[in-house]
Amino acid sequence: MDSILVKGSGPLNGQIPIAGAKNACLTLMPATLLTEEPLTLINAPRLSDIRTMTQLLQSLGAEVTSLQDSRVIALSSHDVNNHTAHYDIVRKMRASILVLGPLLARGGHAVVSLPGGCAIGARPVDLHLKALEAMGAELELKDGYVHAQAPNGLKGGTVDFDFASVGATENALMAATLAKGTTVLNNAAREPEIVDLARCLRAMGARIAGEGTSIITIEGVDRLGGATHTVVTDRIELGTYMIAPAICGGEVELLGGRIELVEAFCEKLNAAGVDVTETDHGLRVGRRNGRIRAVDVTTEPFPGFPTDLQAQMMALLCTADGTSVLEEKIFENRFMHAPELMRMGANIEVHGGTATVTGVDRLKGAPVMATDLRASVSLILAGLAAEGETRVGRVYHLDRGYEHVVAKLSGVGANIQRISET
């Protein structure tokens, strides 16, 4: 099993290219199931989750081809011959549930295993199912699978989300494009990945209004066509690499970055003593003189502070001057990285959904274990600022969401390498 070896290496300087968004691409790929015509995605990230979604779509009969060093994904679902998404593939990734809406909308039936993924909380699929039921779907949970039918097609309806769920909004949005009549999604999620999905679906012929707000209206059409779409920049990778010069010092330009993707995050960085400025090619990030200042953080749905950047922010605040309070309101169980940071000398107290972090002068390198995707990169960031050597185990989590992390960080001066172990 591979591990990442990090040594504290001082200030970082240079440029880091930011990939296309994992969470956007994983949503865009199932959109191929809505049409017989080709869908081409440009700026796709090269990640294990993308390979898992590729396997899932291929198991359903879709053709998926990677081009241009996997930066371009060509998809075609002209011959979908299977409507069952089996556990063996779905268990690897929670985003697999996103095939349910498209399969049901186009084919009138689907059988999809309940999904897996990082163990950071329950994340039940009930909101997905309620949304489809509001469009007339007949659903049954049996033997760990969702059995869905709409033999006469889905019908427009009003969906009232109890929580602004990103995945449920995406599933409902795709399904509604082929429903008869008008569908209204109330309390819809507002994330950039949903805006990106709506742009792609509109290019395919969908009639959608209101994406990026809490109310999305979809007027169903009889069929969708093909499209070529560029995947939006990954705001979580962007925010992650913005932490690197903040925790180490130096100045790094993040190519492709845009402030509107991470505005709430930038506000907290600024309060902590980090400057973020726009350039012709992205964002430039550098720490001001002196130690990072303590700030309080509460995770919220977009446009609030992203839960997927909480672990990375905690790593930074472990080195801050003062005490910070981080409140996790999106997922339970998302402080599993805290005990590993404490092995590196961090002063953290966790009580339920709240973590109190008192900054220390210097973290110390230690052997640590990644517990999930974002935790893995938070430990790497902490290792960059630590005294001595940090070895991060279970880095298969990392491969799900960050491409070439060693190359990107070493390219700006980090002392980091990947070690293959038998």
What the chain holds in terms of domains, given with CATH numbers, is: 3-16+234-419 (3.65.10.10), 24-230 (3.65.10.10)
Provide the pLDDT for residue 116. 55
Residue 330 known to bind ligand: yes
Q: What is the pLDDT of residues 397-420, one digit of tens each?
A: 888 889 999 999 999 999 999 998
Provide the angle, in degrees to the nearest 10, between the axes of the packed helices 100-107 and 166-176.
10
Residue 262 known to bind ligand: no
Whether residue 189 is predicted with pLDDT greater than 60 in this model: the reply is yes
- 289 secondary structure, DSSP code: S
Provide the pLDDT for residue 341. 97
Residue 283 known to bind ligand: no
E strand segments, 288-330: 297-298, 323-327
Lowest mean pLDDT among 37-41, 205-209, 328-332, 382-386: 328-332
Whether residue 21 is predicted with pLDDT greater than 50 in this model: the reply is yes
- 118 assigned to active site: yes
Provide the pLDDT for residue 1. 80
Percent of the chain's residues with pLDDT above 90: 86
| First-last CA distance in the chain | 6
Tally Cβ neighbours within 10 Å of residue 419: 12
- What is the distance, to the nearest Å, from the Cα of residue 233 to the centroid of all Cα atoms in its chain? 11
- Of the two residues 68 and 13, the one the predictor is more confident about is 13
Residue 127 known to bind ligand: yes
- CA gap 95, 75 in Å, rounded: 18
Whether residue 120 is predicted with pLDDT greater than 70 in this model: the reply is no
Residue 23 known to bind ligand: yes
Phi, psi of 378 (to 5 degrees): -65, -35
Q: Tell me which of 25, 118, 200, 248 is the catalytic residue.
A: 118
Residue 308 known to bind ligand: yes
- CA gap 167, 411 in Å, rounded: 34
- Of the two residues 117 and 339, the one the predictor is more confident about is 339
Q: What is the pLDDT of residues 338-386, one digit of tens each?
A: 999 999 999 999 999 999 999 999 999 999 999 888 889 999 999 999 9
Q: Mean pLDDT over all residues of the chain? A: 94
Residue 422's pLDDT band, with cuts at 50, 70 and 90, is low
Helix (H, G, I), strand (E, B) or coil at 404: coil
